[in-house]
Amino acid sequence: MAKHAVGGWPLPQQRWLLALLIMLSISTVIVFFIRSAFDSCDRHLERVVGKKEAVHLSPITTTTAAAPSPLSFMKSKLVLLVSHELSLSGGPLLLMELAFLLRSVGAEVCWITMQKPSQADEVIYSLEQKMLVRGVQVFSAKGQEAVDTALRADLVVLNTAVAGKWLDAVLKEKVSHVLPKVLWWIHEMRGHYFKLDYVKHLPLVAGAMIDSHVTAEYWKNRTQERLRIKMPDTYVVHLGNSKELMGVAEDSVAKSVLREHVRESLGVRDEDILFGIINSVSRGKGQDLFLRSFYESLQLIQEKKLQVPSLHALIVGSDMAAQTKFETELRSYVTLKKIQGRVHFVNKTLAVAPYLAAIDVLVQNSQARGECFGRITIEGMAFQLPVLGTAAGGTTEIVVNGTTGFLHPVGKEGVTPLAKNIVKLATHVERRLTMGKRGYERVKKIFLEDHMAHRIAAVLKEVLQKSKRHI
């Protein structure tokens, strides 16, 4: 089986340089991957108000470094953030990102987590410590302190549909007092989240914030058809890459060293072409179909006798300890097809910047309805990587088909198209480079932290105005 993790240093004499760059990378990567679920795309915020056409707010303009934060009006405001869990998954990391942005402008921020394991958890402890260091108050989701804070808060943010269970379970008869100042941040695309017990209070909150237009439309239709309730004023907010991420992506020396180190540890030469998929390993993320496409691309190259460098596939997001049935299937397929030397598995990690520096093409193969948005896509584009993505969900709002990458269908129908797209990029280096450059330009235009801050600020201002009218 191929190597499973990054190993030793390339040369002894390079250790001091590599150590310095890796340390610098870690300092930035830790920050930006705590931000790793934030997704950004469009040049303006659209407010969906249950009409056929969206109402467009003012276009966003990029601020300079010296300009005041668009969130500065939140100074001294009390904000309660309610997360259904605290983990390394997208939703909680998104909420932590918001917590740090609000703290940076002087807001008082409190955090509660609904679901916690009975035993001590190292990940939860670590993430809570990061928040405490940044001045975010962390306390129990139950009890009088949670109720009192919710009643005093200027704004309450419920993160994910599941967080709706907290309202009745904890606030009880006080729910009606809190609903007018609730902003409900929804990231889910799966049907099992459409339960009335979760979202029955949706029509009464100040607003809903959703990561993509596709997801917003899906929620609007499903709540009306299945639950017979109406969505509140809904804000589609595409978020952006952090300044820390952009710093790493734009540092050519750091990228070169990281690329060399990762590739050598994997046994991939510099001239080889490395296709990478960076997601938690699960059937919904489509690693199995990606491997089928990868193998099919090798067959196409052999049949057509194409002269291309050696192709490799990198899967970042494994869980070696769990050894799930799905992951076992992936490894068995690799063994069956005798491509062990070309496929490399790496454990799930927050520090994916080295792998973005090491690969030549990013694959976003999420299945079913796709990603709600998928921040790894814009992170890859920041590293000037062309993207091969499924034509579903938020990916369609990020990747410009034929310009910054190629889109293919979800499911088995997408296996051959993805294989052909792999061959297209493998055989045309200039196309790879051009698509990567255009993706980077798109990031600079609409995927930056400044764009994100303006969009978030526009939503919070409206929600706060609504809540004041109900006092």
Query: Taking the model in full, what pTM does it have?
Result: 0.82
Which top CATH class is 72-240+452-470?
alpha beta
Rounded-to-integer distance, Cα 373 and Cα 189, Å? 10
**Cα-Cα-Cα-Cα dihedral of 393, 397, 398, 399, to 10°?**
90
pLDDT at 33 over 80: no
- What is the average pLDDT value for the chain, to the nearest integer? 86
Domain residue ranges in the chain: 72-240+452-470, 243-446
Range name among 186-195, 210-219, 256-265, 456-465 with the lowest pLDDT average: 186-195
Domain 243-446 fold is Rossmann fold (3.40.50)
Q: What is residue 243's predicted lDDT score, i.e. its pLDDT? A: 86
Question: For 367-402, how does the pLDDT look when each residue is reduced to its tens digit (9 = 90+)?
Answer: 999 999 988 999 999 999 999 999 999 999 999 999
pLDDT at 7 over 70: no
Q: Which residue, 163, 168, 165, is CA-closest to 184? A: 163
Q: Which residues of 270-298 are buried (b: 16+ CB within 10 A; e: fewer)?
A: eebbbbbbbbebbebbbbbbbbbbbbbbb
Percent of the chain predicted with pLDDT > 70: 85
Domain 72-240+452-470 and domain 243-446 have a common topology: yes
Q: Are strands 311-318 and 273-278 parallel, antiparallel or unpaired?
A: parallel
pLDDT at 354 over 50: yes
Range name among 54-68, 131-145, 232-246, 390-404 with the lowest pLDDT average: 54-68
Question: For 58-113, how does the pLDDT look when each residue is reduced to its tens digit (9 = 90+)?
Answer: 333 444 455 789 999 999 999 999 999 998 777 888 899 899 999 999 999 999 99
Q: Confirm if 37 and 90 have CB atoms less than 8 A apart.
A: yes
Range name among 45-54, 120-129, 260-269, 276-285 with the lowest pLDDT average: 45-54
pLDDT at 408 over 80: yes
What average pLDDT does this structure show over 190-210?
A: 88
